[in-house]
Amino acid sequence: MTLEELIAQFRVDTDDLTTTFLSSDAIVTGWLDEAQEEAAIRKSLLHEVSNAAVCQIAITAGVRSYPLHNSVTLITYAQFVATGTTQVNELTATGRLTLDKSLPGWRALTGTPCQYIQKDTTIELDYLPTSAGIVTIEAYRTPLQSLEDSDSPEIARAHHRHLVQWALHRCYSRPDAEVHDPNRSNIALAEFTRYFGIRPDADLLRTHHANLPSHNKAYW
């Protein structure tokens, strides 16, 4: 579905059909952008393996921490190749507490990276790299463009119609007497959640980032 079609569906569902709309196209577009990002996070719908801007990180000798592309939510694979070589060194996900126990003094050690820590916005290597190179990752991510720029959701077409539920939820939760309807807002949110799942909280994301055991059910 195109952005125009999604907005038209929203207007049918809310009976907001007159030219003096209660919710402008710009506001509805913002809600649909939120919806696509929520859907991608909740259902792990977008897995990136080839876009260099997302997947390739230039490594500098002696530097441990690097920013991730702002779309990355969970790294699923990582490797390091030193400059001037073709040797692929696969990296294993870990956590700081795990490294403290398994590799005492790791913060001062130099060598070829073997493990990585994924933080909210950065990736951190276990060893201070002794040579420059490239870390290549595969990762789940959020959409790269807004709907205004792309005109159609990046997630599969089969999911498009369900994005409107999030827009309905946001519309009916507005503190505006003409549209405020907590019951309809809750119904729309419940339907969106039924289809795309529950959004993982920060603690669960950190657990998955470190690839550590958890008593919570995984969301992908």
In a domain, 186, yes or no: yes
Q: 75 and 54 in one domain? A: yes
Question: What pTM was estimated for this model as a whole?
Answer: 0.87
In a domain, 132, yes or no: yes
Q: Is the pLDDT of residue 177 over 90?
A: no
Identify the band that residue 213 occupies on the pLDDT scale cut at 50, 70 and 90: very low
Q: 155 and 96 in one domain? A: no
Q: 153 and 121 in one domain? A: no
Q: Report the range of poorest mean pLDDT among 21-25, 47-51, 103-107, 212-216.
A: 212-216
In a domain, 206, yes or no: no
β-partners of residue 41 are none
Q: 9 and 36 in one domain? A: yes
How many angstroms separate the CA atoms of 49 and 161, rounded?
Answer: 27
Q: 160 and 117 in one domain? A: no
Q: Number of structural domains, the chain?
A: 2
**Residue 16 phi, psi (nearest 5):** -105, 75
Q: Is the pLDDT of residue 206 over 80?
A: no
In a domain, 212, yes or no: no
In a domain, 20, yes or no: yes
User: 25: which residues sit within 8 A by CB, 6+ positions away?
Assistant: 7
Q: CB-side exposure of 173: number of CA atoms within 13 Å?
A: 12
Cα angle for residues 21, 23, 25 (degrees, 5° grid): 90
How many angstroms separate the CA atoms of 139 and 45, rounded?
Answer: 11
Q: 189 and 112 in one domain? A: no
Residue 125 falls in which region: left (phi positive, over 0), alpha (psi -120 to 50) or beta: beta
Tokens of 192: 């969106």
Which of 11, 37, 36, 21 has the alpha carbon at shortest distance from 176?
A: 21
Q: 109 and 80 in one domain? A: yes
How many angstroms separate the CA atoms of 82 and 78, rounded?
Answer: 13
How many angstroms separate the CA atoms of 184 and 172, rounded?
Answer: 6
Please give the single-letter amino acid code of residue 213: P
Q: 73 and 22 in one domain? A: no
In a domain, 52, yes or no: yes
How many angstroms separate the CA atoms of 52 and 203, rounded?
Answer: 29
In a domain, 159, yes or no: yes
In a domain, 16, yes or no: yes
β-partners of residue 136 are 56, 79
Express each pLDDT in 180-193 by its tens digit: 999 999 999 999 99
Q: 169 and 130 in one domain? A: no
Q: 171 and 133 in one domain? A: no
Q: 24 and 11 in one domain? A: yes
pLDDT reported for residue 219? 35
Express each pLDDT in 57-101 by its tens digit: 999 999 999 999 999 999 999 999 999 999 999 999 999 999 999
Tokens of 48: 């990136």
Parallel, antiparallel, or unpaired for β 128-129 and 110-111?
Answer: parallel
Express each pLDDT in 2-13 by its tens digit: 999 999 999 999
Q: Is 15 exposed, middle or buried (0-12, 13-18, 19+ CB in 10 A)?
A: exposed
C-beta separation of 154 from 143 below 8 A: yes
Q: Is the pLDDT of residue 220 over 60?
A: no
Segments forming the whole domain that contains residue 63:
47-141
Q: 13 and 67 in one domain? A: no
